[in-house]
A and B are shown apart, each in its own frame.
Chain A
Protein backbone atom coordinates (compact mmCIF):
# COMPACT_ATOMS: atom_id res chain seq x y z
CA UNK A 1 0.00 0.00 0.00
CA UNK A 2 1.25 3.46 -0.87
CA UNK A 3 2.46 5.67 1.95
CA UNK A 4 0.33 8.68 2.79
CA UNK A 5 0.97 12.04 4.33
CA UNK A 6 -1.85 13.65 6.31
CA UNK A 7 -1.29 17.20 7.44
CA UNK A 8 -3.56 19.73 9.09
CA UNK A 9 -4.05 23.47 9.51
CA UNK A 10 -5.46 23.37 13.02
CA UNK A 11 -2.82 25.72 14.43
CA UNK A 12 -3.58 28.34 11.76
CA UNK A 13 -7.33 27.90 12.15
CA UNK A 14 -7.04 28.34 15.91
CA UNK A 15 -5.12 31.56 15.33
CA UNK A 16 -7.86 32.94 13.09
CA UNK A 17 -10.52 31.85 15.57
CA UNK A 18 -9.51 34.54 18.07
CA UNK A 19 -6.41 32.58 19.16
CA UNK A 20 -8.49 29.69 20.39
CA UNK A 21 -6.42 27.69 22.87
CA UNK A 22 -5.80 23.96 22.60
CA UNK A 23 -7.72 23.58 25.85
CA UNK A 24 -10.76 25.34 24.39
CA UNK A 25 -10.66 23.21 21.26
CA UNK A 26 -10.30 20.06 23.34
CA UNK A 27 -13.34 21.01 25.43
CA UNK A 28 -15.40 21.72 22.32
CA UNK A 29 -14.45 18.43 20.68
CA UNK A 30 -14.67 16.33 23.85
CA UNK A 31 -11.12 15.00 23.75
CA UNK A 32 -8.11 15.70 25.94
CA UNK A 33 -5.72 18.57 25.28
CA UNK A 34 -2.94 16.01 24.75
CA UNK A 35 -4.90 14.55 21.84
CA UNK A 36 -5.22 17.99 20.22
CA UNK A 37 -1.46 18.49 20.69
CA UNK A 38 -0.78 15.08 19.13
CA UNK A 39 -3.04 15.85 16.14
CA UNK A 40 -1.41 19.26 15.56
CA UNK A 41 2.05 17.68 15.69
CA UNK A 42 1.06 14.88 13.30
CA UNK A 43 1.56 12.20 15.94
CA UNK A 44 -2.03 11.05 15.80
CA UNK A 45 -4.53 10.91 12.96
CA UNK A 46 -8.05 11.43 14.33
CA UNK A 47 -11.04 9.31 13.50
CA UNK A 48 -13.42 10.57 10.84
CA UNK A 49 -15.87 11.62 13.56
CA UNK A 50 -13.32 13.77 15.41
CA UNK A 51 -12.00 15.21 12.14
CA UNK A 52 -15.53 16.32 11.21
CA UNK A 53 -16.08 17.74 14.70
CA UNK A 54 -12.94 19.84 14.41
CA UNK A 55 -13.92 21.04 10.94
CA UNK A 56 -17.39 21.91 12.19
CA UNK A 57 -15.98 24.01 15.05
CA UNK A 58 -13.98 26.11 12.59
CA UNK A 59 -16.93 26.14 10.14
CA UNK A 60 -14.70 24.80 7.37
CA UNK A 61 -15.00 21.81 5.04
CA UNK A 62 -12.91 18.82 6.07
CA UNK A 63 -10.40 19.24 3.23
CA UNK A 64 -9.54 22.75 4.44
CA UNK A 65 -8.59 21.39 7.85
CA UNK A 66 -6.88 18.17 6.80
CA UNK A 67 -4.94 17.47 3.63
CA UNK A 68 -4.30 14.00 2.31
CA UNK A 69 -1.39 13.21 0.01
CA UNK A 70 -0.15 9.95 -1.51
CA UNK A 71 3.63 9.81 -1.26
CA UNK A 72 4.26 6.98 -3.73
CA UNK A 73 2.34 5.53 -6.65
CA UNK A 74 0.51 2.32 -5.70
CA UNK A 75 1.25 0.94 -9.19
CA UNK A 76 4.98 0.96 -8.47
CA UNK A 77 4.46 -1.63 -5.74
CA UNK A 78 2.72 -4.12 -8.03
CA UNK A 79 4.76 -7.29 -8.69
CA UNK A 80 6.28 -7.63 -12.17
CA UNK A 81 4.92 -10.37 -14.42
Chain B
Protein backbone atom coordinates (compact mmCIF):
# COMPACT_ATOMS: atom_id res chain seq x y z
CA UNK B 1 0.00 0.00 0.00
CA UNK B 2 1.57 3.28 -1.07
CA UNK B 3 1.43 6.64 0.68
CA UNK B 4 -1.58 7.94 -1.24
CA UNK B 5 -3.64 4.87 -0.43
CA UNK B 6 -2.69 5.14 3.23
CA UNK B 7 -3.65 8.82 3.22
CA UNK B 8 -7.08 7.98 1.79
CA UNK B 9 -7.57 5.22 4.35
CA UNK B 10 -6.68 7.60 7.19
CA UNK B 11 -9.07 10.21 5.77
CA UNK B 12 -11.84 7.61 5.47
CA UNK B 13 -11.44 6.37 9.02
CA UNK B 14 -11.16 9.86 10.49
CA UNK B 15 -14.30 10.99 8.59
CA UNK B 16 -16.27 8.07 10.01
CA UNK B 17 -15.00 8.74 13.54
CA UNK B 18 -15.66 12.49 13.34
CA UNK B 19 -19.23 12.01 12.07
CA UNK B 20 -20.01 9.29 14.61
CA UNK B 21 -18.64 11.22 17.59
CA UNK B 22 -20.16 14.50 16.48
CA UNK B 23 -23.70 13.13 16.02
CA UNK B 24 -23.40 11.03 19.17
CA UNK B 25 -22.46 14.26 21.04
CA UNK B 26 -25.36 16.18 19.47
CA UNK B 27 -27.79 13.35 20.19
CA UNK B 28 -26.79 12.85 23.83
CA UNK B 29 -26.61 16.56 24.65
CA UNK B 30 -29.54 17.97 22.70
CA UNK B 31 -31.85 15.40 21.10
CA UNK B 32 -32.08 12.79 23.90
CA UNK B 33 -33.48 15.27 26.44
CA UNK B 34 -35.63 17.23 24.02
CA UNK B 35 -36.76 15.25 20.92
CA UNK B 36 -38.93 18.19 19.80
CA UNK B 37 -35.74 20.03 18.87
CA UNK B 38 -35.66 17.85 15.72
CA UNK B 39 -38.40 20.04 14.26
CA UNK B 40 -36.43 23.22 14.97
CA UNK B 41 -34.74 24.41 11.75
CA UNK B 42 -32.35 26.57 13.77
CA UNK B 43 -31.04 23.42 15.49
CA UNK B 44 -30.29 21.75 12.14
CA UNK B 45 -28.68 24.89 10.74
CA UNK B 46 -26.47 25.33 13.79
CA UNK B 47 -25.51 21.63 13.80
CA UNK B 48 -24.44 21.85 10.17
CA UNK B 49 -22.57 25.14 10.57
CA UNK B 50 -20.59 23.79 13.53
CA UNK B 51 -19.94 20.39 11.94
CA UNK B 52 -18.17 21.81 8.87
CA UNK B 53 -15.26 23.65 10.63
CA UNK B 54 -14.98 20.91 13.28
CA UNK B 55 -14.67 18.19 10.62
CA UNK B 56 -12.19 20.21 8.54
CA UNK B 57 -10.09 21.11 11.60
CA UNK B 58 -9.91 17.52 12.84
CA UNK B 59 -9.08 16.25 9.33
CA UNK B 60 -6.21 18.75 9.04
CA UNK B 61 -4.82 17.78 12.45
CA UNK B 62 -5.06 14.04 11.66
CA UNK B 63 -3.38 14.51 8.26
CA UNK B 64 -0.54 16.50 9.88
CA UNK B 65 -0.04 13.76 12.49
CA UNK B 66 -0.13 11.15 9.71
CA UNK B 67 2.47 13.08 7.67
CA UNK B 68 4.77 13.35 10.72
CA UNK B 69 4.43 9.63 11.52
CA UNK B 70 5.04 8.67 7.87
CA UNK B 71 8.08 10.95 7.72
CA UNK B 72 9.53 9.32 10.85
CA UNK B 73 8.78 5.77 9.63
CA UNK B 74 10.34 6.51 6.22
CA UNK B 75 13.46 7.76 8.03
CA UNK B 76 13.27 11.25 6.59
CA UNK B 77 12.85 10.18 2.96
CA UNK B 78 11.01 12.66 0.76
CA UNK B 79 7.41 11.64 0.15
CA UNK B 80 6.24 12.05 -3.44
CA UNK B 81 3.91 15.07 -3.23
CA UNK B 82 3.00 15.18 -6.94
CA UNK B 83 -0.66 15.10 -7.91
CA UNK B 84 -0.37 14.02 -11.52
CA UNK B 85 -2.75 13.12 -14.36
CA UNK B 86 -3.54 9.68 -12.89
CA UNK B 87 -4.46 11.19 -9.51
CA UNK B 88 -6.70 13.73 -11.23
CA UNK B 89 -8.40 11.06 -13.35
CA UNK B 90 -9.03 8.90 -10.28
CA UNK B 91 -10.39 11.91 -8.39
CA UNK B 92 -12.68 12.84 -11.29
CA UNK B 93 -14.09 9.32 -11.60
CA UNK B 94 -14.70 9.05 -7.86
CA UNK B 95 -16.28 12.52 -7.64
CA UNK B 96 -18.59 11.72 -10.55
CA UNK B 97 -20.06 8.69 -8.76
CA UNK B 98 -20.29 10.46 -5.40
CA UNK B 99 -22.10 13.42 -7.00
CA UNK B 100 -24.67 11.06 -8.52
CA UNK B 101 -25.16 9.49 -5.11
CA UNK B 102 -25.62 12.85 -3.45
CA UNK B 103 -28.14 13.93 -6.10
CA UNK B 104 -30.02 10.68 -5.49
CA UNK B 105 -29.98 11.44 -1.77
CA UNK B 106 -31.22 14.97 -2.43
CA UNK B 107 -34.12 13.66 -4.51
CA UNK B 108 -34.94 11.12 -1.78
CA UNK B 109 -34.83 13.92 0.81
CA UNK B 110 -37.26 15.98 -1.24
CA UNK B 111 -39.36 12.86 -1.67
CA UNK B 112 -39.76 12.54 2.08
CA UNK B 113 -41.21 16.08 2.16
CA UNK B 114 -43.45 15.31 -0.81
CA UNK B 115 -44.78 12.26 1.04
CA UNK B 116 -45.69 14.45 3.99
CA UNK B 117 -43.00 13.18 6.38
CA UNK B 118 -41.56 15.31 9.18
CA UNK B 119 -38.90 17.85 8.08
CA UNK B 120 -36.30 16.19 10.33
CA UNK B 121 -36.52 13.05 8.15
CA UNK B 122 -35.51 15.18 5.17
CA UNK B 123 -32.50 16.53 7.09
CA UNK B 124 -31.45 13.05 8.19
CA UNK B 125 -31.70 11.72 4.61
CA UNK B 126 -29.80 14.75 3.29
CA UNK B 127 -26.98 14.44 5.84
CA UNK B 128 -26.79 10.67 5.38
CA UNK B 129 -26.57 10.97 1.61
CA UNK B 130 -23.77 13.53 1.94
CA UNK B 131 -21.92 11.22 4.30
CA UNK B 132 -22.43 8.13 2.10
CA UNK B 133 -21.36 10.07 -1.00
CA UNK B 134 -18.19 11.19 0.78
CA UNK B 135 -17.42 7.64 1.93
CA UNK B 136 -18.03 6.20 -1.55
CA UNK B 137 -15.72 8.85 -2.98
CA UNK B 138 -12.87 7.74 -0.69
CA UNK B 139 -13.55 4.02 -1.21
CA UNK B 140 -13.65 4.43 -5.00
CA UNK B 141 -10.38 6.35 -4.97
CA UNK B 142 -8.82 3.54 -2.95
CA UNK B 143 -10.28 0.99 -5.40
CA UNK B 144 -8.94 2.80 -8.47
CA UNK B 145 -5.48 3.18 -6.93
CA UNK B 146 -5.31 -0.55 -6.21
CA UNK B 147 -7.03 -2.01 -9.26
CA UNK B 148 -5.99 0.55 -11.84
CA UNK B 149 -7.92 3.02 -13.90
User: Residues of A with Cβ closer than 8 Å to B?
Assistant: 26, 30-35, 38, 41-44, 46-47, 50
Contacts and interface: CB of A to CB of B under 8 A. Distances in A.
B147 A35 contact: no
A43 B84 contact: no
Shortest beta-carbon contacts, A-B, top 3: A43-B148, A31-B84, A35-B86
A26 B2 CA distance: 15
Nearest to A37: B2
Contacts of B84: 30-32, 35
Contacts of A32: 4, 80, 82, 84, 86-87
Interface of B: 2, 4, 80, 82, 84-87, 145, 147-149
Contacts of A26: 80, 82
A50 B85 contact: yes
> Which of the listed residues B2, B4, B82, B145 has the most CB atoms from chain A within 10 Å of its own CB?
B82
Contacts of A35: 84-87
A58 B2 CA distance: 27
A31 B82 contact: yes
A21 to B, nearest CB: 13
Contact of B85 (A33, A34, A43, A47): A47
B76 to A, nearest CB: 16
Contacts of B80: 26, 32-34
18 contacts: A26-B82, A30-B82, A31-B82, A31-B84, A32-B4, A32-B87, A34-B2, A34-B80, A34-B86, A34-B145, A35-B84, A38-B86, A41-B148, A42-B148, A43-B147, A44-B86, A44-B149, A46-B85
